[in-house]
Chain A
Amino acid sequence: MPELTYLQAISDGLRTEMRRDKRVFLIGEDVGVYGGAFKVSLGFQEEFGPWRVIDAPLAETAILGACTGASMMGMRPVAEMQFADFVSCAWDHLVTVAAKQRWRAGTPVPIVVRLPSGGGFSGGPFHSQNPESSFAHIPGLKCVCPATPEDAKGLLISAIEDPNPVLFFEHKHLYRRIKSEVPEERYTVPIGKARTHRIGRDISLITWGAMVYTAEEAAQQLENDGVSVEVIDLRSVMPWDKAAVLDSVRKTSKVLILHEDTRTGGFGAEIAATIAEEAFEDLDAPVQRIAAPDTPVPFSPPLEKAYIPQVDDVVAGLRNLAEY
């Protein structure tokens, strides 16, 4: 099996679907000649031509609105937002048209929006955000947040196959840092099924995206203390794998929820509320959350480091829970 970076795995998934299905096309700013701001679609325009790898004007509403219209005519559009942050410009389209069309008018909108998200490299307030919880709140949208190269490919293919608008949050900090074996052939990873990243007995650590790696490092440190931490990678927050979370919580009786998005109204709040409703009797400690503080994402390295949850923060949180 070849080793691919997270970024190469996304390219591989997209290329696989574009070769297999003529209805699939890519549209976005600078995705064609330039190959995308992060080079996910490098070489795509040469292979598929300018009408399947479309350099759009700087107009996010036009890009996503056009995807919706094209999808209604039988195409399978994949849009790239240059940065996840810029999806705010097309918020109205996604929330007003794409999310509601199937429910009210019976017309499915099978589109994929790729969203390079997340911080860790001084991107500042407008190139670092993780807006998945805002969209998870909108009935009709799906939100996928892969952490591994294998999942990135398999979930992207599932997203393209899915008959709904799917927001595909690809974490920029993983693009070139994370590399692992990825099957060469076409495969899918089901949307809505969590993955047990690490099996443990004492504490459940629920997370997704780049925080899976922060969680893993923290769990390794706790192992030296004799505390066994189970890391659950949700893979998608809408739909989210409630059963997997509750199963893990029932086993360990203590839970820490970790996410890179801000705390208040972040998706961790929904998970915590669900655990409180459905597994209260199984808990031996209050449900804990570690998340970014409720501020915009700061630019300067020491500020950003204070903002994004660090391994030490998670270790401290886990130790508190272990001692409870």
Chain B
Amino acid sequence: MAVAREAEPVGSLHEVREAGLDREDLLGVYRNMLITRGVEERGHILYRQGKIPGSFYTGRGNEAASVGVATAMGKEDVGTPLHRDMGVHITRGVEPWRIFAQYMGRADGPTRGRDGNVHMADAQLGLIAMVSHLPAMLPVAVGAALAFRIREEARVALAWFGEGSSARGDTHEGMTFAGTRKLPVIFVCDNNQWAYSTPTHLEYATEHVADRAQAYGFEGVVVDGTDVLAVYREAKRAIDKARAGGGPTLLECLTLRMEGHAVHDDAFYVPKVMFERWAESDPLERFRTWLRDNVDMTDDEEDEISTGVKKLLNDALKRAEDSPLPEPHDLLDGVYASNEDLDTPHHK
């Protein structure tokens, strides 16, 4: 039986306005979702062209969850997005050409070719780069929240993980510590129902991942992760609560991973009917329809947004392809930090 609160869909335009989004914001959210999907679709093309070394991962199906949560973050808030959360990077303002450069291992990618795919972050935008050991980032986000609590700053940390990651000890330790100290951190679970080939019932035995929150002493909420407005509303509530000293929330966004674990994986183990059913609630199509029905998004506006996104991504691709490959001569640089490296937004 579910313990977590199962969030309702957003009922009215009034409710959206109450939550802080005006018409222009809503079109901006749609644009960010289009960029998010567009970046990953173009990534697929680059991969097929042999321009991406190693493997390639996307978050198709997770656009509403990632953009919705990131839209609710404040400018000074920070987060540790994972590989299904491209929408967080886009919403925080990472330029797509740098993402393509990262994919291709070029010198202008955020990690300058030292790490691949979505293992990147722009610290200036409040993001912390993920590692492959996904739940390892949860205690890091908890530590950011601890710093805010020690300094009594009204800032919040966002910690992303998946339902697969929920099985690891880091998740338990991070949530235990955050719960005992009521730290301003939101644990965002991208539950896309498949951890590589492993289904949810082999990852956790409760109905929802968010059911666990009660055991850590805070609220758990499950939201339809294809409904960007419901995700936004629930993330906003949780963030506002944390900012006001109310402690953590576990926000579980339920989606389906619409592709394989990575590009090499055809996801044969996912029942076809499951893909068909979730394709009906494609996050982009769903929100596009909502915008047309509720805020009268016109054909012209829609064209303008999609044309703008296409141009942005085409220009970005070109700029990324012009970026040089990294030079091996500085491979040893930066294994150890120097004092100048502490000149970051946070160390001043």
Are A105 and B111 in contact, with the CB atoms below 8 A? yes
Chain A residues in 8 Å Cβ range of B342: 108, 110, 163
Q: Judging by beta carbons under 8 Å apart, are B341 and A140 in contact? A: no
Which B residues touch A240, using CB under 8 A? none
Complex contact A72–B139 (CB within 8 A): no
Distance of A285 from chain B, by nearest CB (Å)? 34
Judge if B173 is at the interface, Cβ distance under 8 Å: yes
B335 and A107 contact, CB distance less than 8 A: no
> Quick check: is A303 within 8 A (CB to CB) of the other chain?
no
Q: Does B176 contact A (CB under 8 A)?
A: yes
Residue of B nearest to A101 (CB): B129
Residues 133-155 (chain A) with a chain B CB within 8 angstroms: 139-140, 142
| Residues of B close to A109: CB separation below 8 A | 337
Number of A interface residues, CB 8 Å? 44
> Does B39 reach chain A (CB closer than 8 Å)?
no
0 or 1 for each of A43-56: is its CB under 8 Å from B? (1 = yes):
00000000110101
Residues from chain A with a CB closer than 8 A to the CB of B136 are: 65, 92-93, 96-97
B347 to chain A, nearest CB (A): 5
Q: Tell whether B199 is near chain A: CB-to-CB under 8 Å.
A: no
Known A65-B170, A108-B341; contact A102-B143, beta-carbon cutoff 8 A: no
Which of B114, B133, B177 touches A59 (beta carbons < 8 Å)?
Answer: B177
Residue B312 is within 8 A (CB to CB) of chain A in the complex: no
Contact: A56 with B177, CB < 8 Å? yes
B128 touching A107 by the CB < 8 A rule? yes
Find chain A residues with CB under 8 A from B149 CB.
Answer: 51
What's the least CB distance linking B78 to chain A, in Å? Answer: 7
Contact B121 A105 (CB under 8 A): yes
**What is the distance, in angstroms, from A61's C-beta to the closest C-beta of chain B?**
5
Report Cα–Cα, A277/B139, bound state, in Å: 42
Judged by a CB distance under 8 angstroms, whether A41 is at the interface is no
Given contacts A69-B147, A93-B139, A102 and B337 within 8 Å (CB-CB): yes
A107 touches B146 (CB 8 A): no
Is A57 in contact with B142, judged by CB distance below 8 angstroms?
A: no
Residues on B with beta carbons closer than 8 Å to the beta carbon of A25: 150
Contact: B150 with A57, CB < 8 Å?
no
B131 beta carbon closer than 8 Å to chain A? yes
> CB of A75 within 8 A of chain B?
yes
Check A37 for interface membership: any CB of B closer than 8 A. no
Chain B residue numbers with a CB within 8 Å of A52 are: 150
Instruction: Decide: A66 and B146 in contact? CB cutoff 8 A.
Output: yes
Q: Are B150 and A75 in contact (CB under 8 A)?
A: yes
A106 proximal to B (CB < 8 A): yes
Q: How far is the CB of A18 from chain B (nearest CB, A)?
A: 12
Identity of the chain A residue whose Cβ is nearest the Cβ of B338 in the assembled complex: A163
* Shortest distance from the beta carbon of B199 to any chain A beta carbon, whole Å: 25
Q: Is A301 an interface residue (CB 8 A)?
A: no
Known A73-B144, A103-B334; contact A65-B150, beta-carbon cutoff 8 A = no
Asked if B123 CB lies within 8 Å of chain A CBs, one says yes
- Cα A16 to Cα B84 in complex, Å, equals 45
Q: Which of B150-188 contact A (CB under 8 A)?
A: 150, 157, 169-170, 173-174, 176-177, 180
B264 interface residue (CB < 8 Å to A): no
Closest to B148 in A: A73
**A75 contact from B111, B128, B147, Cβ within 8 A:** B147
CB-based contact A61/B338 at 8 Å:
no
In the bound complex, residues from chain A placing their C-beta under 8 Å from that of B138 are: 65
B110: chain A residues within 8 A (beta carbon): 105-106
- Interface presence of A164 (CB below 8 A): yes
Given the complex of chains A and B, what is the CA–CA distance between A69 and B123 in angstroms? 12
User: How far in angstroms is the closest Cβ of chain A from B271?
Assistant: 34
Which residues from A are CB-within-8-Å of B334? 102-103, 106
In the complex, what distance in Å separates the CA atom of A69 from the CA atom of B174?
12
Tell whether, in the assembled complex, residue B140 and residue A72 are in contact, meaning their CB atoms are under 8 Å apart: yes
Which residue of chain A has its CB nearest to the CB of B142? Answer: A66
Q: How far does the alpha carbon of A61 sit from the alpha carbon of B169 in the complex, in Å?
A: 8
Which residues in B have their C-beta under 8 angstroms from that of A125? none
Minimum CB–CB distance for A108 against chain B, Å: 4
- What separation, in Å, do the CA atoms of A51 and B145 have in the docked complex? 13
Contact partner, B177, options A66, A105, A110, Cβ 8 Å:
A66
B133 touches A104 (CB 8 A): no
Q: How far is the CA of A57 from the CA of B341 in the complex (A)?
A: 32
Per a CB cutoff under 8 Å, which of A64, A69, A103 touches B128? Answer: A69
**B48 within 8 A of partner (CB):** no
Further pairs besides A62-B170, A105-B120, A163-B338: 7, Cβ < 8 Å: A59-B177, A62-B177, A69-B146, A105-B110, A105-B123, A142-B336, A164-B337
Q: Which are the 5 A-B pairs with shortest beta-carbon distances?
A: A65-B139, A69-B143, A66-B143, A108-B337, A105-B129
Q: List 7 A-B contacts (CB under 8 A).
A: A57-B173, A68-B139, A69-B157, A102-B337, A106-B123, A164-B336, A164-B337
